[in-house]
Copies of this chain bind each other. A is one copy, B any other.
Amino acid sequence: MKRIDELTAALGSIPCETNPRLVAQRSRDFYWYSPVLKRQLDGVTGDIVISPRSEAEVVDVLAACYRLDIPVTPRGGGTGNYGQAMPLSGGAVLDLRNMSRISGIEAGVVSADAGAIIHDIDRAAQAHSGQELRMHPSTARNATIGGFIAGGSGGVGSIRWGTLRDLGNVISARVVTMEASPRILALTGYDLHKVIHAYGTNGIITSLELPLTAAYDWIDTLVTHDSWLRLNQFADVLARQDGLLLKQLCTIEAPTPHRYFLKHQKYLAPGDHVIVAMVAHHAVSAFEALCRQERMKIAFRSDILPESEKRVLPPAYELAWNHTTLRAIRLDPSITYLQTLYPNPVHVEKIAAMSALFGEEVPGHAEYMRFEGRVSCDGMPLVRFSTEERLDEIVRIHEEHGCPVFNPHRYTLEEGGMKQTDEVQLAFKRMVDPKGLLNPGKMIAWDNPDYDFNAPGYYLFPGIKKDGSFRDEIPSLD
């Protein structure tokens, strides 16, 4: 620990924490949604948490860590599920939440520091000029904007705007490099792909410019049907309505909604498959017309609820994306999930086919979104976990059926992503993190350029370091 003492001395007035219990707490994310990651990463912890208050302090931290060869793993709200923020080799956890300044809001654009909470940005933009971010994760109340860009891929809003990687969904990013004299780079356009969804392995994002869109009074709705196929066919029709403004659209197979959405249970029957949609208030009459035309039942509408009833309910987006999984895990810890793609134009067909194939073992959940100018679905089915072997088999069967899996039971960028080297991100890492100190173990291509992604099994980072076993708390939910 001598190097950590040296680091502490070098940090001067920059806030840091070395109490092992507190460091362990802030060395975790929501990796425990996966029983595999839970087993693999259970004892992982950093040695110190550093909480810079400015970009200049980030520069100082990185310079000191570079000099002392101390690994640095950045984190925001710690709401990722792929172990993005877990410091596999220990060292410093760089907690960016002290950098939460929202520095500018104008028509269509917000500038914010990486550690700003997404919901706070939305509140500020709404108050300033009736605007909000185009998209956010279901964890918007805890997640930071930097964490979302570095560790997420899309979310609430993707039905209208596509994914974070889509050109135009991030305007610019400032990034600090991990060098003897860290540089500050300003990235725009395609250069943003160097750091979007790179888990902070190749630079620390300190601030971002993001597009805003009009904030409307979004009406939360639940549409139900007793046929899973029919519900998804309807969701697809809904998704293709270019004039019907939605912010969120997903389908969740029975028995998940009635069983796990406790606060909404009274609006649902046990056999209800459910659409969770957020509809602009001025689109509600069109939405109703479409539901009537297609003989679909609107079981829940937040805009016609008494205020007293509405107040106790979580927002609809906290039923969707990985909050669906979270609600299930809270009531049944044996549940986990997958992340897959049901590709256009066969998305509805694939959703139904996977459901028919796996039945109650893999209850369906499809997030409708725009992808390359068309409607596609991000699959987030629940999985009733039995063994790791069976989980791998479920993954394999999905892929054999043309549903690529972004495996949330792997902690590397490649295995959780496209199962291939991202040459752009690797080249950038070579340039800005020559010692490989940023978030070690997350980019296979860096550790082992010859790794065979088609080999069976998974990559085990040789530098993994465990200091004990820690108890993960499942957060309470509205």
A293 to B167, CA, bound (A): 12
A280 within 8 A of B: yes
Cβ-closest chain B residue relative to A188 = B285
When the two chains form their complex, are residues B216 and A286 in contact, meaning their CB atoms are under 8 A apart?
A: no
When the two chains form their complex, are residues A243 and B108 in contact, meaning their CB atoms are under 8 A apart?
A: no
- In-complex Cβ contact of A373 among B163, B213, B240, B292 (8 A): B240
The distance from the CB of A209 to the nearest CB of chain B, in whole angstroms, is 8
Q: Which residues in B have their C-beta under 8 angstroms from that of A213? A: 214
When the two chains form their complex, are residues B373 and A172 in contact, meaning their CB atoms are under 8 A apart?
A: no
A217 within 8 A of B: yes
A109 to B43, CA, bound (A): 55
A419 within 8 A of B: no
Q: Which residues in B have their C-beta under 8 angstroms from that of A289? A: 167, 188-190
A239 to B281, CA, bound (A): 27
Cβ-closest chain B residue relative to A241 = B167
When the two chains form their complex, are residues A189 and B285 in contact, meaning their CB atoms are under 8 A apart?
A: yes
A 202-237 binary contact with B (CB < 8 Å = 1; else 0): 000000000101101100000000000000000000
| Beta-carbon contacts under 8 Å, A274-290 to B | 280-283, 285-290
When the two chains form their complex, are residues A241 and B373 in contact, meaning their CB atoms are under 8 A apart?
A: yes
A190 to B373, CA, bound (A): 26
The distance from the CB of A289 to the nearest CB of chain B, in whole angstroms, is 3
Q: Which residues in B have their C-beta under 8 angstroms from that of A195? A: none
When the two chains form their complex, are residues B243 and A293 in contact, meaning their CB atoms are under 8 A apart?
A: no
A169 within 8 A of B: yes
- Given A168-B244, A168-B245; A189-B239 close (CB under 8 Å): no
Q: Which residues in B have their C-beta under 8 angstroms from that of A57? A: none
**Chain copies in complex:** 2
A162 within 8 A of B: yes
A211 to B244, CA, bound (A): 10
When the two chains form their complex, are residues A286 and B108 in contact, meaning their CB atoms are under 8 A apart?
A: no
A281 to B244, CA, bound (A): 24
When the two chains form their complex, are residues B372 and A108 in contact, meaning their CB atoms are under 8 A apart?
A: no
A417 within 8 A of B: no
- Given A107-B130, A107-B216, A214-B214; A243-B285 close (CB under 8 Å): no
Q: Which residues in B have their C-beta under 8 angstroms from that of A167? A: 241, 243-244, 286, 289-290
A375 within 8 A of B: yes
The distance from the CB of A441 to the nearest CB of chain B, in whole angstroms, is 31
- Given A107-B216, A214-B214; A243-B169 close (CB under 8 Å): yes
CB pairs A–B below 8 angstroms (18 shown): A107-B214, A108-B214, A108-B282, A109-B282, A161-B242, A161-B243, A166-B243, A168-B241, A168-B244, A168-B286, A171-B282, A171-B285, A172-B285, A211-B245, A211-B283, A213-B214, A239-B373, A240-B373
- 6 cross-chain pairs, A with B, having the tightest CB-CB distances, nearest first: A189-B289, A240-B373, A162-B242, A166-B243, A168-B243, A169-B243
